[in-house]
Amino acid sequence: MTHDSEAKVSLPVEDSLYLGIDFGTSGCRAIVINDQQKIIADANQLLPSPEHLCGRIQQSAALWLESLHSLFQQLAEKLDLQQISRLAIDGTSGSVLICNDQGKALLPALMYNDASSFEALQTIKQHCPSAQHITMSVSSGLAKAIQLCDDFSLDANLKILNQADFLTNSLCGMWGFSDYHNALKLGYDVEKLLWPEWIVDILPQHSLPEVLQPGDVIGTIAETFCEKYGFSKTCEVCAGTTDANAAFIATQSIHAGDAVTSLGSTLVLKILNTHFIQDLQSGVYSHKLGNLWLTGGASNAGGAILRECFTDEEIQQLSAEINLNQPTGLDYYPLTTTGERFPDPDPNKKPVLTPRPDSDVTFLQAILEGLSKIEQTGYQKLFQLGTVKPTQIQTCGGGAKNPQWGKMRSMLLDLPVKPATHTDACFGSALLAFQGLTPYIKR
C-alpha cells in the first residue's frame, strides 16, 4: 500500500502519537494527538442508520469494521501511522452484540436505543436484588445481552461485548475484554469492581467480558493492521469508554466539582464528584473515573425542540434580539414528545409550548428559558443528592455556541458559564490513549 508522502504531516521521528476514535449514532471520527495534546490529523466516516426490523433497532458489526478501516485509510494518507503508540475507542453506551471466541458476530448488534427486550427484563426482575438497578430497563445492556443469548446454548463459547469492546478486541485479536464504563449497563458492579453473583446466575461467567479500567492496555495491534496501514507492531490497544464519558474527558475537567452541561439534542448534566451517588428514581447514576465519580442525568428536553421550530440561522438572528432583562413569564417545558427521565422522571410528562406568542423572538426566548430552568432544577437535584457544587459550568454541544443563551443560563444558575475548549468524544478517547485515567487518580 503506497501513499503520497508529500501530502503527509511531517513529524520528528521520535514523536509519539495517540489515536482516539469515536463511534456515534450517525458516524465515526478519529483524531490523532501528540504529547502536547495538539491535534495532528483527523478523519470522518458516515454510518448508515440502524435497521428497524421486527421491533428491534439493530446494526451489523461488519459496518463498524468497514468504517474503522475507512478511518485508518484516511489517516494513513495524512501521516505515518508507525508513530501511533497507543489508541482507544469509545462507542454508544448500551449497544450490545454477541460473538464467538474467534470474534465472529453471531447476530446484529442491538443498538443503544433498542427497547425490545421485554421478556429479558422479566428475567432481570426475577434475579436482581434491587428494584432500583441500572439494568432494570428494556433498553439496558443486560436486557439486550439476555435476549441475544436466548437462541444459543449457555455452554456455547459466546462473548458478550459492547460496541467499543468489539472494535478494540478486533484490533488486537483478543476477545472478551471490556471497560467499567461500557460494562455498567450490563450490570457490572463499579463500586466492588466485579460481576455480581446474580448476573452470573443469568449468564454464564465465561460469556461475560473481563472488565478493565478505561485506558488500560488490552494488547498490541494485530499484525494485519500493521501490514495494511503501517501501524507499529508495538502500538497498544487500550480499553475504551462510552461516547458520553469520552466527551466529558475531552473537556479536561479533572477536579471534584467540575461540571459540564451538554446542550445537544438532549440536555445532559454531569458533575465530577468525590463519591458514588445513584438515585435511579431521579434518573441519576455515576460512572467511575479513577478515584472520582462522574455523576449526572439526562433530560429528554434539549436542542431537538429548537430544530423543530427554527433553522440555525433563525436561532442565531432571533437570539441576538432577546432582552434578558425582560423574562417572558411563559412557563414552557420544551419536550418534543411525551415523557421525561430527569430531573423529575415522569413517563406521562407532556410538552408545554403554549401559549404561542406572536413574536418569534419571544417564542424562542420562552423555549430557552424553559430549557435553562430544567438545567437549574437538574443541578439542584444533583446538589440535593450530595454532589460537590461547581464554581463554573463548561458547556458543549450545539447550544454552547449561543452566547445569549449562555448569559441567560449564567444569570439563572448564578455561576459562570463558558464553552468548553474541546468537546469531541474522539479527542477524549485520544486523551484516554495518551494518559489513561491518570488525571482522575489521586496520588
How far apart CA 182 and CA 92 sit, in angstroms, is 9
123-137, 261-275, 359-373: range with highest mean pLDDT: 359-373
Alpha-carbon separation of residue 411 from 332, 419, 420 (angstroms) = 18, 16, 18
Cα Rg of the chain, angstroms: 22
d(CA 203, CA 363): 51
Neighbours of 9 (CB within 10 A): 13
* Secondary-structure breakdown of the chain: helix, strand, coil percentages, each rounded to the nearest 5: 35, 25, 45
Q: How confident is the model at residue 264 (pLDDT cuts 50, 70, 90)?
A: confident
| Residue 23: all three cell numbers together | 463511534
424, 29 Cβ separation under 8 angstroms: yes
Please state, in angstroms and rounded to a whole number, the distance separating the CA atoms of residues 302 and 297: 13
What does residue 396 show for φ and ψ, rounded to 5 degrees?
A: -130, 175
**CATH architecture entry for 5-244+427-440:** 2-Layer Sandwich (3.30)
Helices 118-127 and 141-149, packing angle to 10 deg: 110
Identify the pLDDT of residue 156.
77
Q: Give the pLDDT of residue 7.
A: 60
Helices and strands in the chain, H and E counts: 12, 20
pLDDT exceeds 70 at position 10: no
- DSSP class of residue 5? G
Residue 3 scores a pLDDT above 60: no
Q: What is the pLDDT of residue 220?
A: 98
Does residue 443 surpass a pLDDT of 90? no
What's the rounded Cα separation, in Å, for the pair 254 and 233? 32
pLDDT score for 12: 65
Which amino acid is present at 314? E
Q: How high is the pLDDT of residue 266?
A: 87
- pLDDT confidence of residue 372: 97
**Mean pLDDT across the stretch 280-287?**
93
Cβ-Cβ contacts under 8 Å for 199 (sequence gap 6 or more): 127, 142, 186, 187, 188, 208
Instruction: Note the helical H segments in 261-359.
Output: 304-309, 312-320
Cβ contact 157:101 at 8 Å: yes
Crossing angle for the helix pair 312-320 and 360-384, to the nearest 10 degrees: 90
Let me know: does 410 contact 392? Beta carbons within 8 Å: no
The whole-number average pLDDT for the span 410-434 is 95
CB 342 within 8 A of CB 268: no
- CATH code of the domain occupying 255-420: 3.30.420.40
β-strand partners of 250: none
Q: How many Cα atoms within 13 Å fall on the side-chain side of residue 433?
A: 33
204-231 pLDDT per residue, tens: 999 999 999 999 999 999 999 999 999 9
pLDDT surpassing 90 at residue 15: no
Tens digits of residue pLDDT in 37-62 = 999 999 999 999 999 998 899 999 99
Q: For residue 28, what are the β-bridge partners? A: 23, 45
Q: Look at residue 132 in the predicted model and tell me its pLDDT.
A: 87
Report which of residues 95 and 131 the model is more confident about: 95
How many residues are present in the chain? Answer: 443
* Amino acid present at 399: G
pLDDT of residue 1: 40
Interval 341-397: pLDDT, tens: 999 999 899 999 999 999 999 999 999 999 999 999 999 999 999 999 999 999 988
Q: Which residues contact 389 (CB under 8 A, 6 or more apart)?
A: 257, 383
What is the structure's pLDDT at 124? 97
Note the pLDDT of residue 5: 41
Mean pLDDT across 413-430: 94
Nearest to 47 by CA among 29, 26, 62: 26
Q: What is the mean pLDDT of the chain?
A: 93
pLDDT of residue 36 exceeding 50: yes
Which tens digits make up the pLDDT trace of 72-107? 999 999 999 999 999 999 999 999 999 998 999 999
Residue reference for cell 454532589: 387
Q: What is the SS3 assignment for 33?
A: strand
Average pLDDT over residues 113-127: 94
The three cell numbers locating residue 118: 421485554
The pLDDT confidence band at residue 131, using thresholds 50, 70 and 90, is: confident
Q: Assess whether pLDDT exceeds 80 at residue 307.
A: yes
CB within 8 Å of 312: residues ≥ 6 apart = none
The whole-angstrom separation of Cα 223 and Cα 96 is 26
Confidence category of residue 14, pLDDT binned at 50, 70, 90: low
Residue 407 to residue 316: CA distance in whole angstroms = 14
Contacts of 313 (CB under 8 A, 6+ apart): none
Residue type, 349: K
Q: Is the pLDDT of residue 295 over 80?
A: yes
3-state secondary structure 170-190: HHHCCCCEEECCCCHHHCCEC
Domain residue ranges in the chain:
5-244+427-440, 255-420
